[in-house]
Amino acid sequence: MRRMTGLLICCVGLLASTTTVSAEMTESSAERFADAYFYDIVMDHIQGDDPANYHMTDSENITFGPLAETYIPSSSCYKTGETCTFVPTKEYVATVFQDDEPVNVIGTYEQAAGTYAFSTFGSDKETPKALTDVKGDLVKYSEASAWFDYDGDMLTALTSNTKQMISGDEISTEAFQVLLVEEHESIEGNAEEGVMDGADGYSDEAESNKPTSSTNRLIGFAMLAILPFGYWFLKRRKAT
């Protein structure tokens, strides 16, 4: 019990540090955040990591494509008989260019009302170029790592992975909804089977509430909390 209490106190301290660090890397708009921090974030990865892990070289000739807000399927897309729509996520992404070649993707999101923070850096090799061709709304379906260009009626697949998901180059909103409903029903069916399987002996819920499981989750939260602190410490070390 003392060990758990000590770990809880440590987590609270780490979360407090994370809040302070995050406040140092925020801006009032996506555009302001991109202008202030995108270049430094990319350069930190080039100089502090192996740039090859991010499909880059050590060149400092870095530029960025325009910011594009991402959209995701609304809850209506998972229900038969309702009109499928796409809602904004308040996350904006841009293609990273190195020596004028698209190499990666970077993003910022609205952390709170009027406050934008760092969201993501990293992608496969195909996505950066694909995002430069978007003419409508940029739709992402995270469950399948799929990206679409949406014109209000048709969803055009932007990557080979997305084409594989829909078995073609484009799909109508209605057909996409059918696909999501079928996938959602399949997931629910598997979940129900899992609950039934857990009826013998321990249930899944009981297993997740075991002390060891709770400790592992707490350690996981602590690791997530310390990541921004490590990034901030790296920047402070370089600055000195």
For residue 202, which amino acid is it? Y
* Residue 28: other Cβ atoms inside 10 A: 10
Q: What is the mean pLDDT of residues 13-23?
A: 34
Q: Sorting pLDDT into bands at 50, 70 and 90, what band is 32?
A: very high
Euclidean distance between CA atoms 169 and 155, whole angstroms: 9
Chain center to CA of 56: 20
Place of tokens 């990293």: 122
Q: What percent of the chain stands above pLDDT 70?
A: 68
**Is a pLDDT exceeding 70 seen at residue 39?**
yes
Strand partners, 62: 98
What letters, b where the CB count within 10 A reaches 16 and e where it falls short, cover 112-133?
eeeebbbbebebeeebbbbbee
Three-state secondary structure call for residue 123: coil
How many Å is the Cα radius of gyration of the chain?
Answer: 21
Continuous H helices in the chain: 2-24, 30-33, 39-48, 127-131, 160-166, 173-197, 204-208, 211-239
Nearest-5° angle of CA 195, CA 201, CA 207? 65
Interval 103-151: pLDDT, tens: 999 999 999 999 999 999 999 999 999 999 899 999 999 888 999 999 9
